[in-house]
Structure 1
Amino acid sequence: MQPIKVTVIGSGNWGSAIAKIVAENSAENPTVFDKSVRMWVFEELIDGEKLTAIVNTQHENVKYLPGVKLPHNLIAVPDLVDAAADADLLVFNVPHQFLPRICKQLQGKVAPTVRAVSCIKGVELSPDGITIIADYISQQLGIYCGALSGANLAPEVAQEKFSETTIAYKVPDSSDQIDQKTIKLLFHRPYFHVNVIDDVAGVSLCGALKNIVALASGFIDGMSWGDNAKSAIIRRGILEMTRFGRDFFPECEAATFTEESCGVADVITSCAGGRNHRLGKAMIETKRPIFQLEAELLNGQKAQGVTTAAEVHEFLKRRGALANYPLFTAVNDIIFNGLDSSALPNILEQVEKKL
């Protein structure tokens, strides 16, 4: 068989960190993977120079992952279709609100034998319900897609500090060249330990819903309520996440939420210092709109929890299930409807009664 060609769709700090891993492993396993790994980069000018040119000559994403050297076999490509051309495996790593436009550009240009892994932490809302990102990619492009999620703050992964992740990849065809062993070979590094499981829905939901909990933990820190209160938010947030999976995605496995890096570990990490926690904390401290803070604090990147909170709220409202998810509902109302965050103790008690 020909070596597997891999393309990473996205070049933010997490996209660049994952591309670094994929390129390192491709270079070390030339009989399995094509040595050249392409990375689609949304073209920007940095001090008058194209970002793709900087990545390809300086081997550094100076805007989104400064100070981290990228492998020389990682090639930045500004055209999305060109980047994906002839790829056998697509790794999606973009803010999920941009995904519909990206999929539309790729429709009809990706063979059905192509496989994909989504590193995107969010859900897609439609009039018919709520869809995990991996399924959305599958539906839009007609290809199989797995999911990667874990306690993975991008700068720490890029700096090769030890971390774990969970990849859900259920081989769609026994004859596939890309199986769970291949997926692990592509993503596992001495500093980035990978566990591969079958539960795509569970891994995807963990990656999306934990961002809502992280916003709540930011509210707690913004009010200086301390670690006891934040621990309560984390525990009850995990319970609500698990219930959401059980209620609306019965194929989920409860153990994914409590035993995998994508579950409890990612919640803890995100509530300690991720983007969503930072924004939630800043919103309470400054009493300013969260979208203004997002533009100022995140260097052009997005905090997925804000969009996810709104989409989950709308989905639960349509299902008449808001009362069963008081913490998720409160996060949405604090962000969008002016609910005072000091109401959280009463809301926590409601969570306990509902779960």
Structure 2
Amino acid sequence: MKQKIAVLGPGSWGTALAKVLAENGHDVRLWGHEPSQLEEINTKHTNSRYLKEVILPESLKGEADLETCIQDVDAILFVVPTKAIRTVARQVVSKLTNRPMIIHASKGLEQGTHKRISEVLLEEISENKRKDVVVLSGPSHAEEVAVKDITTITAACTNLEAAEYVQKLFMNSYFRIYTNDDVIGVETGAALKNIIALGSGAIHGLGYGDNAKAAIMTRGLAEISRLGVAMGANPMTFIGLSGLGDLIVTCTSVHSRNWRAGDLLGRGHKLDEVLENMGMIVEGVSTTKAAVELARELKVEMPITETIYGVLYENEDVKKAAKNIMLRNSKSEKEF
């Protein structure tokens, strides 16, 4: 069934998801702030800043006016940076004319509150203004989805009927969606893997090999699981697409901005310089701060995350930090 969908955020991931929806036959509007970018989408059917050499469907329309974009839509997909979620949600709720399904494909924790993105959306968009809130997450580079590379991700909601609705919106021959009712686990895995990707990139930048990369990914997954379970997640979620799957793809590819940022840090660049040169939000940087604060509050041990925090926020030398974490007190691998 053809649906009317507003996609909020014309970055690489928002554009790629909008492309999937439009190619599936839905009426899709892509909202953003930059007039020249929207004009390019509407006239040249490209978004060259984020997805070079990708041709977008002519039916996909860029829209600068939020009220027009969300008018009478069946679903709204949030793909804006974590720090903008609450602000944009407040703008949306003031302009809603019906009760759409709310979907989000952003990955992070809100600074200060440490809340997951779905929690923020539930707070800001009351039940009488929306249907359910569904999380869309998993191992996916926008650059690969945009060229129809085979991809599998998860739609998560405590109401599985809502997750199945989102599954039907996106499913096609190259983009497969699985459902899950563990929203906490899916969002926690999505947010925290960006921290480990920073560390994985730094390991590469320092010149270490595959052994070190395997170590940080494996022990990083243990940290993600510990914090997620403490927050109420199902531990099995972390060996699925939004846990292990997302961790692998983000920690091993130059497509990952978090990996690239970590790589530059490992090569000796300063954080301010790295962020300035990236040109896109590096969610792992802010998520590291939120995760460390939350872990300390919940008394969860996260040595890799603490080490990355020290490099990012306490000006610790990255090479010395890598050595120090190896010299911690010995322990059993079974300690959780």
Match for residue 9 of structure 1? 8
Aligned to 1:137: 121
Name 2:146's counterpart in structure 1: 158
The runs of at least 4 consecutive aligned structure 1 residues that moved more than 4 Å come to 348-354
Structure 2 unpaired stretches of 5+: none
- Which residue pairs with 2:176 in the alignment? 193
Matched, 1:123 2:123: no
Q: How many residues are paired up?
A: 326
Letter aligned with residue 256 of structure 1: T
Q: Which residue of 2 aligns with 1:41?
A: 32
- Partners of 2:33 and 2:287 in 1: how far apart? 23
Contact 1:5 1:88 in 2 (8 A): yes
Partner amino acid for 1:7? A
Q: Are residues 305 and 162 of structure 1, via their aligned partners in 2, closer, same or farther at CA, if it must alter by over 3 Å?
A: same
Instruction: Give the superposition deviation at 1:329.
Output: 0.9
Secondary structure at the aligned position of 2:114 is classed as strand
Q: Is the 8 A contact 1:326 1:350 kept in 2?
A: no
3-state SS, counterpart of residue 130 of structure 1:
coil
Corresponding residue of 1:321: 299
Does the Cα contact within 8 Å between 1:325 and 1:351 map onto a contact in 2? no
Q: How does 1:272-311 map to 2 (within 5 A)?
A: 272-273=252-253, 274-285=256-267, 287-296=268-277, 298=278, 300-311=279-290
Query: For the Cα contact (< 8 Å) 1:125–1:315, is it kept in 2?
Result: no
Q: Supply the distance in 1 between the matched residues of 2:331 and 2:92 (Cα, whole angstroms).
A: 45
The residue correspondences of 1:338-349 to structure 2 (distance < 5 A) are 338-342=315-319, 343-348=321-326, 349=328
Contact 1:124 1:132 in 2 (8 A): yes
**Correspondence list, 1:150-299, <5 A:** 150-171=138-159, 179-248=162-231, 250=232, 252-258=233-239, 260-273=240-253, 274-285=256-267, 287-296=268-277, 298=278
Offset at residue 15 of structure 1 (A): 0.7
Q: Output the CA distance in 2 between the equivalents of 1:140 and 1:352.
A: 44
Q: CA RMSD in A?
A: 2.0
When normalised by structure 1's length, the TM-score is 0.86
Residues 161-188 of structure 1: CA deviation (Å, up to 9, x unaligned):
112111103338xxxxx73332112111
SS of corresponding position for 1:206: helix
Question: Take 1:156 and 1:114, find their aligned partners in 2: how far apart are those partners?
Answer: 29
In the TM superposition, what is the alpha-carbon distance from 1:88 to its structure 2 partner?
Answer: 1.9
Counterpart secondary structure, 1:72: coil
Instruction: Write the deviation string for residues 276-319 of structure 1: whole angstroms up to 9, x where unpaired.
Output: 1110111121x2322321221x3x311110010112123334x1
- The answer on whether the counterparts of 2:155 and 2:163 sit within 8 Å (CA) in structure 1 is no
Name the TM-score, length of structure 2 as normaliser.
0.91
Asked if structure 2 preserves the Cα contact closer than 8 Å seen for 1:146 and 1:167, the reply is: yes
Q: Closer, same or farther in 2 for the Cα pair 1:245/1:51, shift >3 Å?
A: same
Partner of 1:69: 55
Q: Distance in 2 between matches of 1:20 and 1:97?
A: 24
1:3 Cα deviation from its structure 2 partner: 5.1
1:86-130 per-residue CA deviation (whole Å, 9 max, x = no partner) reads 22211111111222221222233235732111100101134xx42
8 Å contact 1:151–1:164 — kept in the other structure? yes
Deviation string for 1:300-350 (max 9, x for gaps)? 311110010112123334x1736x111111111111112222332542556
Greater shift in the superposed pair: 228-237 or 75-84? 75-84
Identical aligned residues as a percent = 31
Residue-by-residue CA offset, 1:178-231 (whole Å, 9 max, x unaligned): 733321121112111111111111111111000000001011111111110110
Contact 2:154 2:178 (C-alpha < 8 Å) held by counterparts: yes
How far apart are the structure 1 equivalents of 2:3 and 2:204? 46
CA distance in 2, matches of 1:270, 1:167: 19
